Structure 1
Amino acid sequence: MSKTFLPSFLMPWLAFLITFQDVSGVDYNKTLSLVVSSRQNQTGHSIAQAVVNTEGDNVPKHWRMNMHQSNSEHQGIQSFQLVTTLVAPPPLPSDYELFPGVGYYKFHTASAKGFEDASSKCAMEGGHLAIVNSEAEHQVLQTMFARYPESELKTVWAFVGFHDRKKEGEYVTIFGQPLQSTGFTRWSSPGQPDDYKGGEDCGSVHRNGGLNDAGCGGHIPFFCEYDLSWAEHL
């Protein structure tokens, strides 16, 4: 149970029941109840209290709860808004490898059926397609790639988390951030990206660690990354 107190206008008792659903759309047998109530203390201050309860099988043990309040007035009528965000971190997959100071990664050597399939598989594991943010992260992917010879993988490319599907040449991460803001934009060769035959709009990494544009429907391996900030709360 977690509780958060914040000043507000007097509010009646309010409760919500929420059914969980994971990124793949599968319903879980667990619910969350959010109860918001308010009272006025002896000094005349209005206090709102939010209480969260969960029940069911495999209920997450760790939560992030953010609450934001805002007050406004229009034509003499005062309004109060309370926005609550509850996030339950996914469990850390046992088959992700920790590179200290960098993060948790998994190299799926079995080819995905395209960029979206790779992204979905990462999400189902509680991660996301890897986004290279530094030289250290570049070295991680290169190291993992080197464990498997090209003759075994039948390719020198693997999907990672960026694309230019919205506008040709404007590369963004899977979270919509400009690729230039990631801290790593080294391409695999001077000729890349080349949008070969006008059909390469999804991001990949070469076994040399450099970035490349690739066809979104390609059947190639892919790298997943588990958000390191999650692990700090486990």
Structure 2
Amino acid sequence: MDDLGSSTMFISTTLGTLALLLASCHGAHKPEAACNSSTARLVLSSEKNRSGDWVARVRLIHDDVNSPSSDKWRVDVVHTVVQCPGNEQLVLMEANVTIPHAALHQPKGLPPPKTTPVPRTRHGNMTSTVAPPEGYIRVPSLHSSYKYYDDWLVWQHARNACEQEGAHLAVPDTEEEYNVLTKLSSKHPWVGIYYSKGKGQYMTVLGQPLSSLPYVRWAKGEPDKSGDCIFYHVLSKTLYDEPCGFVEVYVCEIAS
């Protein structure tokens, strides 16, 4: 058998009944070789976030936190709700767990190097003449380019994703920029604003106090302290706070 380095979990729930099938292949089997075992618990749930979208969430909990592959697993979840006759619903959740081949053979004590490119930004009077990465839409009047991602991530993961390509979560600070986010986004995206408990105030991902921005438009009654991270509501063109562990789409910004 080939060394695939992947696992697949299929979970279906019908009227409270749970069935689980796990098929796994982590390398060619050798009868004489000793095996190490560890346990991972997969938790799937569905919830409605503050922007009004139902999302499926997954948590993969390892019992071996020192495993070299413990932070390398990727889990893709498909959540399907089928309306049946008689007001009954069939809920199907499929989770595909993938472990990269390199993670399975990485020596302990040698974590992969982590590098985070410095974001290019027009904020703070910094601009760039470098062409933006592929897929970004340039807005000359704002001296920035933007890219909408239809990936549901928690706020910190969305921030990391932007920074990995030299950008940052969008920081809208003009009415024109709010309008750009509305045109780009089909859902309500995370933006680069959060509450810093250490500083006791709202900050941007660029290290600016939110109060220093020339234009900020909160929704009525916001922020209401329901969470420390901020998303942009594309219909009302206003900002809302919500827990950073919720998942939303996001928009990256880069100077151009």
- Scaled by the length of structure 1, the TM-score of the pair is 0.51
Look up the SS of the partner of 2:162 in the other structure: helix
C-alpha distance in 2, partners of 1:21/1:118?
Answer: 16
C-alpha distance in 2, partners of 1:181/1:175?
Answer: 12
Deviation at 1:100, TM superposition (A): 2.2
C-alpha distance in 2, partners of 1:124/1:218?
Answer: 21
Across the aligned residues of Structure 1 and Structure 2, the Cα RMSD in angstroms comes to: 2.6
* In the alignment, structure 1 residue 202 sits paired with structure 2 residue 229: yes
CA contact (8 A) 2:132 2:145 kept: no
**Change in CA separation of 1:89 and 1:21 when aligned onto 2, cut-off 3 Å:** farther
Q: Which residue of 1 aligns with 2:202?
A: 171
Deviation at 1:144, TM superposition (A): 1.2
Deviation at 1:141, TM superposition (A): 0.5
* In the alignment, structure 1 residue 191 sits paired with structure 2 residue 221: yes
C-alpha distance in 2, partners of 1:115/1:165?
Answer: 14
Which structure: larger Rg?
1
Q: Which residue of 2 aligns with 1:216?
A: 244
Question: Structure 1 stretches (4+) deviating beyond 6 angstroms?
Answer: 88-91
Q: Would you say how many aligned residue pairs link Structure 1 and Structure 2? A: 132
For residue 138 of structure 2, the aligned residue among 59, 75, 98 is: 98
| Structure 2: gaps (5+ residues) | 1-112, 118-127
Structural mapping, 1:1-234, within 5 Å: 22-23=115-116, 92-102=132-142, 103-112=144-153, 114-145=154-185, 148=186, 153=187, 157-166=188-197, 170-187=201-218, 189-196=219-226, 200-207=227-234, 208-226=236-254, 228=255, 231=256
Deviation at 1:21, TM superposition (A): 7.3
Q: What residue identity is the alignment partner of 1:122?
A: C
C-alpha distance in 2, partners of 1:99/1:89?
Answer: 13
CA contact (8 A) 2:148 2:184 kept: yes
Q: What residue identity is the alignment partner of 2:172?
A: V
Q: Deviations over 1:99-120 (max 9, x none)?
A: 22112001111111x1110001
C-alpha distance in 1, partners of 2:215/2:229?
Answer: 16
C-alpha distance in 1, partners of 2:130/2:247?
Answer: 27
C-alpha distance in 1, partners of 2:250/2:134?
Answer: 18
**Change in CA separation of 1:178 and 1:203 when aligned onto 2, cut-off 3 Å:** same
Q: What residue identity is the alignment partner of 1:219?
A: V
C-alpha distance in 2, partners of 1:203/1:90?
Answer: 29
Look up the SS of the partner of 2:151 in the other structure: coil
CA contact (8 A) 2:189 2:248 kept: yes
Look up the SS of the partner of 1:111 in the other structure: strand
Deviation at 1:169, TM superposition (A): 6.5
Q: What residue identity is the alignment partner of 1:97?
A: I
Q: Deviations over 1:43-89 (max 9, x none)?
A: xxxxxxxxxxxxxxxxxxxxxxxxxxxxxxxxxxxxxxxxxxxxx99
Q: What residue identity is the alignment partner of 2:250?
A: F
Q: What residue identity is the alignment partner of 1:221?
A: V
